[in-house]
């Protein structure tokens, strides 16, 4: 009699375990993953100052950014004057606008620089969904160039070059120091692009 009671208890435990397992499986079948969330972004109030130092150009840039000399140029910068490599840092957004200036000394140099700008932009074709090109034209201040908008999950979403076609050339490339996912950086990109546009609109060559 005692043996039969022990067997019944054992069977009851097994039955309860099976019921609990089936209930858990049924519950999991209704599970839906939550959409990915991102931290709320807080954008600083726009305020600007003028960059006017020893360099042969001036422009306006935001107070929440700072400019430093680029001490670690990339191999692709070998054609450029190392004295004129700058980084505009956006610490709030973990982003950098790389700026490189070169004095045009010949038609050959001019052609090399403009072709390099196009090459650097289109090297992102693998990750980009499209690359749009917009003309930059300000005849009053002799500012001409091309603005590249690189769409998709590319490492750089904005690049440009401007020149007076005879003496001055300035190239810019915006990078964020994070994994390039457009859905996560789009609000920041939209915000910083306005600062890049302001730089281009206020750019002036010294001596003109």
* pLDDT tens digit sequence for 192-203: 999 999 999 999
| Contact criterion met (CB below 8 Å) for 102 and 114 | no
Query: Where are the chain's structural domains?
Result: 48-205
Q: What does the pLDDT look like over 79-133, one tens digit per residue? A: 555 568 999 999 999 999 999 999 999 999 999 999 999 988 887 766 778 889 9
Q: Which residues of 36-52 are buried (b: 16+ CB within 10 A; e: fewer)?
A: eeeeeeeeeeeebeebe
User: Given pLDDT bands bounded at 50, 70 and 90, which one contains residue 179?
Assistant: low
| Contact criterion met (CB below 8 Å) for 86 and 70 | yes
Q: In Å, how far from its chain's centre is CA 192? A: 9
Burial label, 106 (beta-carbon count in 10 A; 0-12, 13-18, 19+): exposed
User: Given pLDDT bands bounded at 50, 70 and 90, which one contains residue 206?
Assistant: very high
Among 23-37, 102-116, 135-149, 165-179, where is mean pLDDT lowest?
A: 23-37
Residue 13 pLDDT > 90? no
* Residue 160: both structure tokens together: 């440009």
Residue 4 pLDDT > 90? no
Q: What does the pLDDT look like over 31-69, one tens digit per residue? A: 444 444 445 678 999 999 999 999 999 999 999 999 999
What is the structure's pLDDT at 7?
A: 47
Q: CATH for 48-205, among 3.40.1000, 3.40.50, 2.60.40, 1.10.1200?
A: 3.40.1000
* Residue 55: both structure tokens together: 């360099």
SS (H, E, C) 140-173: HHCEEEEEEEEEECCCEEEEEEEECCCCEEEEEE
What is the structure's pLDDT at 75?
A: 56
């Amino acid at each position: 009699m005692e043996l039969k009671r022990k067997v019944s208890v054992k069977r009851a435990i097994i039955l309860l375990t099976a019921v609990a397992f089936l209930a858990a499986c049924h519950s999991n079948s209704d599970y839906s993953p939550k959409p990915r969330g991102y931290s709320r972004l807080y954008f600083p109030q726009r305020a600007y100052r003028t960059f006017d130092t020893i360099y042969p150009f001036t422009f306006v840039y935001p107070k929440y950014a700072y400019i430093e000399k680029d001490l670690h140029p990339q191999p692709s910068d070998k054609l450029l004057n190392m004295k004129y490599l700058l980084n505009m840092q956006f610490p709030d957004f973990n982003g950098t606008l790389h700026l490189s200036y070169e004095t045009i000394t010949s038609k050959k140099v001019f052609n090399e620089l403009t072709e390099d700008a196009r090459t650097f932009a289109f090297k992102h074709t693998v990750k980009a969904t499209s690359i749009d090109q917009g003309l930059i034209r300000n005849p009053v201040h002799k500012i001409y160039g091309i603005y590249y908008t690189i769409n998709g999950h590319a490492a750089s979403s904005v690049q440009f070059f401007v020149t007076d076609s005879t003496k001055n050339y300035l190239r810019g490339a915006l990078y964020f120091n994070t994994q390039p996912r457009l859905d996560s950086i789009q609000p920041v990109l939209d915000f910083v692009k306005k600062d890049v546009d302001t730089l281009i609109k206020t750019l002036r060559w010294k001596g003109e």
